Chains A and B, each alone.
Chain A
Amino acid sequence: MSPDVTLEWGMALVPELLLLLLMMLVLFYNKLKKSASPRDVGLLTAWGAFAILLTAVALSFSATPASAEAMWGGMIRGDMATLVFRVIFLSALIITALLSIDEERLQRGEYYALLISATMGFSLMAASSDLIMLYVALETASISSYLLAGFYVDKELSVEAGMKYFVYGAFATGVMLYGMSLLYGITGYTNIYTIGGMVRANAGGISPELNGVFLISAVMIFVGFGFKISAVPLHFWTPDVYHGSPTPFTGFLSTASKAAGFAVIFRVFTSGAVGIPNDTSFWWAMLVAIAIISMIVGNFAAISQTNIKRMLAYSSIAQAGYLLIGVVTFTAEGAGASMFYLLMYAFTNIAAFGVIALVAKDAGADELTDFNGMSRRSPYLALILLFALLSLSGIPPTAGFLGKFFIFRAAVEQGLWWLALIGLLNAFVALYYYLSVLKYVYLYPTDKEDVPIPVSRSAWIGLWVSLIVIVYLGVFANSAYEWTQEAATAFFALSG
């Protein structure tokens, strides 16, 4: 551990430092400028996040290969994988901010400051290569998310969502932390890649009797990560929290939080820190079982839902199952496919929740029947919802089709054709409930025909950008897919 803080180390954290700066600006904006319009603080967040996204991408071009080395005493890895996840989180932040601008109750500096600090936490989670850093980053993100879920302090549903999210979240993090402390106890190190290297070389005096402890810590750590990605059996909070939270934040939670969970799963589980990743280990079987059960439970529970936010919550549990297929292949190809899926999922799900937020604001509720006749009221809004749902169910020409295709292909190439088959069958089940929403939107009559749903300009921008990305990634996926593939190799580069 060298104590010299170089410029390169600083550069590696520039996006997070800028996010911190933006958070301060947003918090004090209304205090400094009394004449500000209530929309300003959201616009500031969206523009600021956009500038940070451009900076992060621009910096990645100038970075030397050495930046992939461990930095800050082994706490951070500024590799390609970090960059891909940063792009996912910052895109999610921009679109969420655009969709929140005209929600009167969200026009407060605290809301945007918490969104930004959650983004910062997610971003650091993806970059961290040390258990301590990982824990602190995860809690930064979680604590902000608890508050955001309960942000409507005078609304019983939101408060209840925040409370439930907090209780389950604190519990899952506590269990995860205990698992991490065991890992530190066995090996004496906290750096994920150092531990992974020790496990691989079987050095450091790890006796075979300790294998059981490794297993316990792997399971306990997965409790925390599985909670983040809402995989079964750690999914019970998902429908309640998605239902009760402010809707624009639900979109953010369902995508950014899930992506961050997968980022840390890739870091910890592929590094070998909890045992060499191959298909003979117990926890490999555990992950496969969780993937299958998540898909089945998520999809079948979604069918009977009458509230669209709950339905999409169960759908997001199923999506965690598909994404886990990419994890259990333990190849750069599978990881890259999952990262591509997370990228397109961010735009897809935020667009879906954005449309729901607008409809729910107009109707005052978010039941499926509130979507009756939407295509005649606002055809373009219905079109965006159509593409988002097609992408979620995996129908070309949307990005969701290629996302599922890449994941299943990676699984088949590893000989896991049966897992890909289960995923495919589940995708057909999912088709049923996604398309039944469109039945409400396009077929059912409403007493408010020809009354358009009010949509602000910033919300339009957010939704159209999402739609363009969904279609673009569905048609010209090559460059994005190669980019995530290249990034995924970083998870398997074990040096440093």
Chain B
Amino acid sequence: MIPMSWYLIFSAALFAIGLYGVMARRNAIAILMSVELLLNAVNINLVTFWRYRTPDRSVGLAWAVFVLAVAAAEAAVGLALIISVYRNRDSVIAEELDLLRN
């Protein structure tokens, strides 16, 4: 059996890529995709912990399903907001959203 740490390292790496993406990408769509990476890293964690730590109780699996459902709702709302930004500004570049500042 593959050791648990492999999955956890993979998940941590995915999480780090997501974090980097949220902070470094300029395009709002890419930022949204990076947020999805964060949530997928969490899901890998949850399913791994379920399989290795509590295979007799499905709590981790159930949680992963909740995360999937919420992530879908979040993506829908995020895309809606990106569209309304695009309609106003003809741009989805995060740095150009600079009307609100001190």
Write the residues of chain A forming the contact surface with B, with a CB cutoff of 8 angstroms.
131-132, 135-136, 139, 143, 146-147, 150, 153-157, 159-164, 166-167, 170-171, 174-175, 177-178, 181-182, 184-185, 188-190, 239-240, 243-244, 304-305, 310
Contacts and interface: CB of A to CB of B under 8 A. Distances in A.
Contact of A181 (B45, B54, B87, B88): B45
Name the interface size band of chain B.
Answer: 35 or more
Contacts of B45: 178, 181-182, 185
B94 interface: yes
A174 B99 contact: no
Nearest to A305: B102
Contact of A244 (B31, B70, B78, B100): B100
B97 interface: yes
Contacts of A181: 42, 45-46, 49, 63
A174 B42 contact: yes
A175 B78 CA distance: 17
B66 A132 contact: yes
Interface in B67-93: 67, 70, 73-74, 77-78, 80-82, 84-85, 87-89
Nearest to B22: A171
Contacts of A190: 59, 63
A354 to B, nearest CB: 22
Contacts of B89: 156, 159
B77 A147 contact: yes
Given A177-B39, A178-B42, A146 B100 contact: no
Given A174-B39, A243-B100, A135 B70 contact: yes
Contacts of B74: 139, 143, 170
23 contacts: A132-B63, A135-B67, A143-B70, A143-B73, A156-B88, A157-B99, A157-B100, A160-B97, A162-B84, A163-B82, A163-B85, A163-B97, A164-B97, A164-B100, A166-B78, A166-B81, A167-B22, A167-B94, A174-B42, A181-B49, A184-B60, A185-B53, A243-B100
Interface string B1-17: 00000001000000100
B62 interface: yes
Given A153-B84, A157-B100, A185-B45, A171 B66 contact: no
Contacts of A147: 77, 80-81
Contacts of B39: 174, 177
B100 A170 contact: no
* Highest count of chain B CB atoms <10 Å: which of A146, A162, A167: A167
B39 to A, nearest CB: 6
A265 B30 CA distance: 31
A163 B46 contact: no
A243 B101 CA distance: 9
Given A139-B74, A177-B38, 13 more contacts: A146-B81, A150-B84, A155-B88, A156-B88, A157-B100, A159-B81, A163-B28, A163-B81, A177-B67, A184-B59, A184-B60, A184-B63, A188-B49
A92 to B, nearest CB: 22
Contacts of A139: 70, 73-74
